[in-house]
Chain A
Amino acid sequence: MKKLAKQFIFYSVLLGLWALLAKLRVWPPYLFPPPWGVGHALWDGFADHSFWIGIAVTMKRMLIGYSLSVVLGMILGLAVSSNKFLEETLGGLLVSLQSLPSICWIPLAVLWFGLSEKAILFVVLMGSLLSVTIAMEDGRKQMPKIYGMAGRNLGASGFRLFWSVLLPASLPFIVNGMKQGWAFAWRSLIQAEMIFLSLGLGQLLMMGRDLSDMSQVMAVMILIIILGYMVDGLIFRTMERRLQEKYGLTPA
């Protein structure tokens, strides 16, 4: 409760400051709209359904691209972490590829797939696949060896060893990888949408720029922040915290 009160005061002051600056007309309103202008833009956006459509389109792409990258990333991560040869070759390549910002995949995607849905998904996939893979690989390596030994010692082998011991033992690392993957996928998708201009929140943002409508630009930015935070901050962090408590990784 105390924390909530602090946050409430903080945001009230922030909004008040914003309103004051806008009221004083330090900058012209078309560059620095007041909070109520942005609020109005938000209202209008939802009223004419353009924001709803944008959110739906973006989330659908996110879901497809992200699920794809999680599944592929886990398979790849498992392969790389369980094979010495792959680890020394492919593993190194993956790490070096991760230094490439995902936006750099856009020219390649456009040439390969055209200005299509596939191209956007490709960019999302490349944006998050690597981080999921690397997190999986790290997880497998960081997972204490003792669990595997204890499992074998108690009669587990093959698939059952994987399913009942290795998988749960690496679950905290997997969730961490999924969280990272989500953050990367989210960024890549918005970036891609801004360039492809095919619906979605990224396009709404660029449309605001094209119309010199700063209120819409800020409204969409707020939407992106809220959506991103809801998934990352609420879903993933809750999952992570629950796991850590159960596994005794944090003093509960």
Chain B
Amino acid sequence: MSTSSQNAYSPAVPVAPRPGARANVFHGKPASSVTMFPRPVPEVVVPKVALDAISLSYRTTSGESLLALDNINLEVRPGEFLCIVGPSGCGKSTLLHLIAGLCPQTSGKILVDGKPVNGPGTDRILIFQELGLFPWLTVGGNVEFGMKMKNLPKAEREERAQYYLRLVHLLNFRDSYIHQLSGGMRQRVALARALATEPDVLLMDEPFAALDAQTRDLLHDELERIWAETNRTIIFVTHNVREAVRLGDRVALMTFRPGRVKQEFSVNLPRPRQMEQPDVARTAGEILGYLREEINKSLEEEYADEKAR
């Protein structure tokens, strides 16, 4: 199977950097780890997140060992918006759980700012697909939770909660309980809760999959705005190629059984983008082509296996 990566795709559209984005030139390899000097000029930047030959296998209930992730190599620049797309079951959610430190990988290294990850840390916050908002806390309580765990004083917690709730336009719902909110509002609470701990890296696991199209479009706009305002690094997992192209600076395509990064595409379309934009659709179409090819290939392999039996 070919894993020729870094096959950059660039449509003939000039790159428009988002306002406030750091001007990073990225050379693809982390700086040598034996540098004795303070990091020199920011021209060579240590990737915010680097996945180095990550593999994960686990035992199924029937006792067989299953390879879920196979030799994943990915690097994410500081302030970059990376989208990971792939068919369901390709292990993209699992990959986020690994980066969040919620479970250990079988082999390989995960580096954040050049330091290996071993366990959860508030520099990386994952927004779960199911959100995992705490129903026994109010919206405000949920947003303050991470800060409480960091032992921040009450006044600061409240102030920051207020800031982030305003950012997601939910300040009026501070004292509501989660079940009183709509799906889109819950999404925004989860976003505020994650942002409030001020992580460097935001990991988002298909956060908008269960929403209706209008709400999702609205949240895309808000996420893009918040990303520009807060300057976070975002790794966003989705099965929707068009959503990936709409949001990402770069799209990594994953395949399944086992999960691998098949190809990476940089999306050089001007922001803000819209899902319905023709160039977004066209770019998505091309990526989808690769994805289909991959799916067909794996299907063919499966059929061949069946015939051989």
On A, residues with C-beta under 8 Å from B are 144, 146-147, 149-157, 160, 164-165, 168-169, 171, 246-248, 252
Contact = CB atoms under 8 A, between A and B. Distances in A.
Contacts of B238: none
Top 3 A-B residue pairs of the complex, sorted by shortest distance between their CB atoms = A248-B179, A150-B132, A154-B146
Give chain A's interface secondary structure class.
helix
Residue with the greatest number of chain B CB neighbours at <10 A, chosen from A149, A154, A157: A154
Nearest to B126: A153
A152 B97 CA distance: 11
A150 B132 CA distance: 6
Contacts of B179: 247-248, 252
A188 B126 CA distance: 49
A159 to B, nearest CB: 12
Range, interface on chain B:
20 to 34
B193 A248 contact: no
Interface string B174-208: 00011110000000000001000100000000000
B149 A146 contact: no
Given A153-B120, A154-B146, A155-B149, A146 B132 contact: yes
Given A146-B130, A160-B149, A153 B136 contact: no
B136 A149 contact: no
Contacts of A165: 134
A246 B136 contact: yes
Given A155-B150, A155-B197, A160-B149, A247 B122 contact: no
B128 interface: yes
B210 interface: no
Nearest to B179: A248
B134 A150 contact: yes
Contact of B128 (A146, A169, A171, A248): A146
B102 interface: yes
Given A168-B136, A169-B136, A248-B179, A154 B125 contact: yes
B193 to A, nearest CB: 7
Interface in B115-148: 120-122, 125-126, 128, 130-137, 145-146, 148
B100 interface: yes
Given A149-B128, A160-B149, A155 B134 contact: no
Contacts of A247: 135-136, 179
11 contacts: A149-B97, A153-B128, A155-B197, A156-B149, A164-B145, A165-B134, A169-B136, A171-B136, A246-B136, A247-B136, A248-B135
